[in-house]
Chain A
Amino acid sequence: MSSPVLSIRDLTVKVPIDGETRTLIDAVSFDLAKGEILGLVGESGSGKSMICRALVKLLPSPAIAITGGSVLLEGKDLATLGEDAMREVRGAKIGMIFQNPTSHLDPVMRIGDQIAEGIRYHQGFGHEQARAAAVEILGQVGFPDPERQYDNYPHEFSGGMRQRAMIAVALSCNPKILIADEPTTALDVTIQAQILRLLMDLRDRRGLSIILITHDLGIVAQTCDSIVVLRNGQLLEHGPKRRVLAEPRHAYTVSLLKSHPSMPDEGGAVEVEQIAQQTRLQPLLEIDDLVVRFPTPRLGLFSGRKKQIAAVNGVSLRVMPGETIGIVGESGSGKSTLARAILGLTPLSSGHITFGGSDLAQQPRQTLAKLRTEAAMVFQDPYNALNPRLTIGDMLAEVLKVQGNTPPDGIPERIGELLDLVELDRAFMTRRPRSMSGGQCQRAGIARALAVNPKLIIADECVAALDVTIQAQIIDLFRDLKTRMNLTLLFIAHDLAIVRNLCDRVVVMYRGEIVEEGRCDAVFANPRHAYTAALISAIPDIDPDKPLPKGDLPPRNEPKGAPVLRGQPLISMQ
């Protein structure tokens, strides 16, 4: 490749904490060529975002400082450049886009004005000129009606469009380099594919060089030319994409690649056969034409009858004992509402849920009692799922006490066993969630679920908030537990690859309905519904030879202002 646009040598960033100096970035060096997309890969705490913040000198705290090394851009060393000179670099030479477009766009300023602002400041354009330029950029990043949409506010767009707006802002001053910090992590997988496509298009059209920060090796495999692997602020490996993916040199890279959920998995199919033979009996859980509706927030006193929207709309499903079923769908598909309805945490509008032979609608008291002692849930956010004031030991002891199956003097021993089961050291008994890592909290959450000795566990996006290597460990734990304890597992996820690895059967939900259901391998090999097909093809595969689909994905109508259920409804305390 030609001479580099950006050349980083021995970049070192340090921060003093409590009298000691901690090294956040440890002498990292790499080059970025013109038109290159470089993937910066690493888990949380690896320093990948910190490097990019250091490049433009927007470090998160004044205490954090570049203490050594150089960043060469067009013959100038950014590491020693003053604040005034840096302003000429930011935006005009290096543009940035961020993970969360919602928080990075100014909510009270029109989208177009945020783009025009940089143009006016850097290029000295007048009001009309800047507006015209901004409208043009909006068109380039895929706004269908830029002239009108210039005047919209960020909250009036969907997440994908907001990320497009963020890209437009970054492009407004014609930078040579674009730094994209996890630009698609907050987006649904089909939207993610569109944004990645857009970035590659822009690279081709404008000759941009892009540094793409991500934790997802699939994204790297699909979009990047070269890869830098980071851990604890150190550069472990740097090389062309195909070489790094095919022959990783560092052990950590190998483990990252192994943890990536799209790696094919053997042995899953055999179990299904066994289970199917064992259980000609009754299903453990039967869902029949289930509908769950929520009232939409009222707009005013005279907006007429409260409108209802169906989060779950006519879902039927049978779950046999010992089965592992994956429920997949994007945000707003109703999968979490389904989970809560099954556990009797949210009122049913119509339809039936039968658990272990008793019907939730007809015998609510009896069924709820059964659910409370035979079913448990594992949650997405491991910190929010544990009471911050209780130690892990106290939390488990309380569950055991309330459930009443363990004699009081047996409780400490049982807590120990539970921690052993989830592979947590028994010393965690006295720890509080605040002092534990996400993975450790999630294990504690699983221990809590196991404390009731459940037949059914519902795991709601329980690995979505974790790093990939931790994800892989938790998935292994589930696989181990379900065979050892003969658990029935409902595994809710937006990540198809994880479901494919763990589950026997998969259910695909879209807007409150099941659009496809079947054996995992069958559905993945041969999806029947267009939405499933789109969903599968949108997953960035770790194999660079299986590219993302070109052109537009099947339309996914996101009407402006449509009521999408965000977050969870309040639980009903019945």
Chain B
Amino acid sequence: MTPTVAATRMNVPWSRFLGRHMTLAIGAGILGLFLAVALAAPLVAPYDPIYQDAVVRLAMPSLAHPFGTDNFGRDILSRVIWGTRIDLQIAVIGVVFPFLIGTFIGTVAGFFGGIVDTVFMRLVDIILAFPFLVLMLSIIAILGPGLSSFYIAMALVGWVSYARLIRAQMLVLKSSDYAVAAVSLGFSRARIMFRHLLPNAVAGSIVFSMSDAVLVLLNGAAISYLGLGVQPPVAEWGVMVAEGQSFITTAWWITLFPGLSIVVLAFGFSLLGDGLGEWLGVNE
């Protein structure tokens, strides 16, 4: 029913829109919550995330410390709250640059075809042959541990998925009738490429970027867990899990809560992606 679809996309009160797009609404809600917590970290965190209180080492969750404390007596809740800043940043920066680079390369390669296309797509094949994490680790091994190394490695490696997606879309759209019509009406190549084809091609990538954010978040946390990303004592969820590992038999809460935060944030991104997919009519 085409008219119904059209109606949902405009002139519908917010309440009804959200009712129809539960997934989108919940996903956006979760992300909004994390964003708010990240921005307001100094206000909502009950303690200083790196303050070591020797009196309350390895304390069970209680009213004073809802998520308990670690072996240095640091408050886990406060560390989780401050960690939101780092992990959200990892997911966003780790997606934005690959998205921009990949979209540009994919658009150009798909639109022009020929030698440009061949060269870039060979490069994509080669990079895709390396297991993502392995290539990331190798690059970080060379650049040295740290968050900036992680971002550089992301930009070098992450663009390939976007380039592939956009290129495939461009190939389809390039032969669509409205592209042919645009050529036959004498529109310039840049106009066809960026005004007519790219806006129609990019929807799939936006949806994909949400599941990519999950992947980047998990990888960023994993690299930090391995000790090659964010360095202690900075509060980051992957680092916190690593720090709690020695105490899992006695103080499970050190490990549990930062991990749960990753799961919930990832859930938010996934739901937002699914919701956007439904809304924009994109099937991944």
Whether chain B is bound by chain A comes out as yes
Q: Which residues of A contact B (CB under 8 A)?
A: 17, 340, 343, 345, 369, 371-373, 375-377, 379-381, 384-389, 398-399, 402-403, 432, 434-435, 445, 448, 451-452, 567-571, 573
Q: How far is the CA of A402 from the CA of B187 in the complex (A)?
A: 7
* Inter-chain contacts of B192 with A (CB < 8 A): 573
A385-B178 in contact (CB<8A): yes
Min Cβ gap A177→B in Å is 30
Q: How far is the CA of A389 from the CA of B197 in the complex (A)?
A: 10
A384-B178 in contact (CB<8A): yes
A384-B186 in contact (CB<8A): no
Q: Mark B110-122, 1 if CB is under 8 A from A, else 0.
A: 0111000000000
A379-B181 in contact (CB<8A): yes
* Inter-chain contacts of B171 with A (CB < 8 A): 570
Q: How far is the CA of A573 from the CA of B192 in the complex (A)?
A: 10
Q: Which residues of B contact A (CB under 8 A)?
A: 1-6, 111-113, 171, 174-189, 191-192, 196, 199-200
A373-B186 in contact (CB<8A): yes
A435-B3 in contact (CB<8A): yes
**CB-CB nearest in chain B for A18:** B4
Min Cβ gap B192→A in Å is 8
Partner of B177, one of A17, A373, A384, A451: A384
Q: How far is the CA of A402 from the CA of B184 in the complex (A)?
A: 12
Q: How far is the CA of A345 from the CA of B187 in the complex (A)?
A: 13
**CB-CB nearest in chain B for A381:** B177
B184-A376 in contact (CB<8A): yes
Q: How far is the CA of A377 from the CA of B186 in the complex (A)?
A: 12
20 additional contacts (CB under 8 A) given A384-B176, A434-B2, A571-B183: A340-B180, A343-B184, A345-B180, A371-B184, A372-B184, A373-B186, A377-B181, A377-B184, A384-B178, A385-B178, A385-B181, A388-B200, A389-B200, A402-B185, A402-B187, A435-B3, A435-B6, A451-B185, A570-B113, A571-B180
Known pairs A389-B200, A434-B5, A573-B111; A376 contacts B185 (CB<8 A): yes
A402-B186 in contact (CB<8A): yes
* Inter-chain contacts of B6 with A (CB < 8 A): 432, 434-435
Q: How far is the CA of A435 from the CA of B3 in the complex (A)?
A: 5
A570-B175 in contact (CB<8A): yes
* Inter-chain contacts of B175 with A (CB < 8 A): 567-571
Min Cβ gap B198→A in Å is 10
* Inter-chain contacts of B182 with A (CB < 8 A): 387
* Inter-chain contacts of A435 with B (CB < 8 A): 2-3, 6
Min Cβ gap A473→B in Å is 20
Q: How far is the CA of A375 from the CA of B186 in the complex (A)?
A: 10
Which of A343, A384, A448, A451 counts the most B-chain CB atoms under 10 A from its CB? A384
Q: How far is the CA of A385 from the CA of B175 in the complex (A)?
A: 10
Min Cβ gap A533→B in Å is 33
* Inter-chain contacts of B111 with A (CB < 8 A): 573
Q: How far is the CA of A386 from the CA of B180 in the complex (A)?
A: 10
Min Cβ gap B109→A in Å is 13
A379-B180 in contact (CB<8A): yes
* Inter-chain contacts of B185 with A (CB < 8 A): 372, 376, 399, 402-403, 448, 451-452
Q: How far is the CA of A192 from the CA of B186 in the complex (A)?
A: 39
A375-B184 in contact (CB<8A): yes
* Inter-chain contacts of A381 with B (CB < 8 A): 177
Q: How far is the CA of A345 from the CA of B176 in the complex (A)?
A: 13
Q: How far is the CA of A386 from the CA of B181 in the complex (A)?
A: 8
Min Cβ gap B116→A in Å is 12
Q: How far is the CA of A395 from the CA of B112 in the complex (A)?
A: 24
Q: How far is the CA of A388 from the CA of B6 in the complex (A)?
A: 11
B174-A372 in contact (CB<8A): no
Which of B171, B175, B185, B186 counts the most A-chain CB atoms under 10 A from its CB? B185
Min Cβ gap B196→A in Å is 5
B191-A387 in contact (CB<8A): no
Min Cβ gap B183→A in Å is 6
Q: How far is the CA of A88 from the CA of B64 in the complex (A)?
A: 69
* Inter-chain contacts of B183 with A (CB < 8 A): 345, 571, 573
* Inter-chain contacts of A389 with B (CB < 8 A): 199-200
B180-A387 in contact (CB<8A): no
**CB-CB nearest in chain A for B171:** A570
**CB-CB nearest in chain A for B178:** A387
Q: How far is the CA of A451 from the CA of B181 in the complex (A)?
A: 12
* Inter-chain contacts of B176 with A (CB < 8 A): 384
- Shortest Cβ-Cβ A-B pairs, 3 listed: A372-B186, A385-B177, A435-B6
* Inter-chain contacts of A402 with B (CB < 8 A): 185-188, 191
Which of B6, B191, B192 counts the most A-chain CB atoms under 10 A from its CB? B6
* Inter-chain contacts of B186 with A (CB < 8 A): 369, 372-373, 402-403, 452
Partner of A570, one of B1, B174, B178, B199: B174
Q: How far is the CA of A343 from the CA of B113 in the complex (A)?
A: 21
A380-B180 in contact (CB<8A): no
* Inter-chain contacts of A569 with B (CB < 8 A): 175
B178-A386 in contact (CB<8A): yes
**CB-CB nearest in chain B for A382:** B177
Min Cβ gap A405→B in Å is 11
Query: Can you report 29 A-B residue pairs in the complex whose CB atoms are below 8 A from each other?
Result: A17-B4, A345-B183, A345-B184, A371-B184, A372-B184, A372-B185, A377-B181, A379-B181, A380-B177, A381-B177, A384-B178, A386-B178, A389-B200, A399-B185, A402-B186, A402-B187, A403-B185, A403-B186, A434-B2, A435-B3, A435-B6, A448-B185, A451-B185, A569-B175, A570-B171, A573-B111, A573-B183, A573-B189, A573-B192
* Inter-chain contacts of A376 with B (CB < 8 A): 184-185
Which of B112, B181, B192 counts the most A-chain CB atoms under 10 A from its CB? B181
Q: How far is the CA of A377 from the CA of B178 in the complex (A)?
A: 10
Q: How far is the CA of A28 from the CA of B222 in the complex (A)?
A: 65
A379-B177 in contact (CB<8A): yes
Which of B5, B182, B186 counts the most A-chain CB atoms under 10 A from its CB? B186
Min Cβ gap B237→A in Å is 39
